[in-house]
Amino acid sequence: MSDKIFLDTNIFAYSFDFTAPEKKKIATNLIKELLQNGKGVISYQVVQEFINVSYRKFSSPMNQTELTRFIEDTLIHFWEVYASQDLILSGIGIKEQYNYSFYDSLIIAAALEAGCSTLYSEDLQHKQKIYSVQIINPFL
């Protein structure tokens, strides 16, 4: 079993959320730990969603320089999964079988494609196992 861990977008978003200090601390510590041990994984979708969140939902939107720096200093070190036909088809299959939204299903499919044993997300069912990936809400 792999010890790789997939991080959903909300982990990165909470690392900038000053309105939720406990979640910010947990998210920041997870990111730091996984940067140090090299076990963290994300997909292109997490990058795209983070960019969207950073512009639209942060109390103070990131500017181009801040966003570029965060991508280059942090996200790039986790980024392993890219768009592919197989990923899309896997996402569709997961959506049909587990009834998650298509985009949540793509996150799960990306975690599976990367060989992760754990998927950290606040948005999915805590402790659910989908094939070889265990979903964990680190904020509980």
Domain boundaries, the chain: 5-136
Q: Is the pLDDT of residue 99 over 80?
A: yes
CATH number of 5-136: 3.40.50.1010
Q: Is the pLDDT of residue 135 over 80?
A: yes
Q: Which helix (H) or strand (E) holds 79?
A: strand 79-81
Q: Residues 27-36: pLDDT tens digits?
A: 999 999 999 9
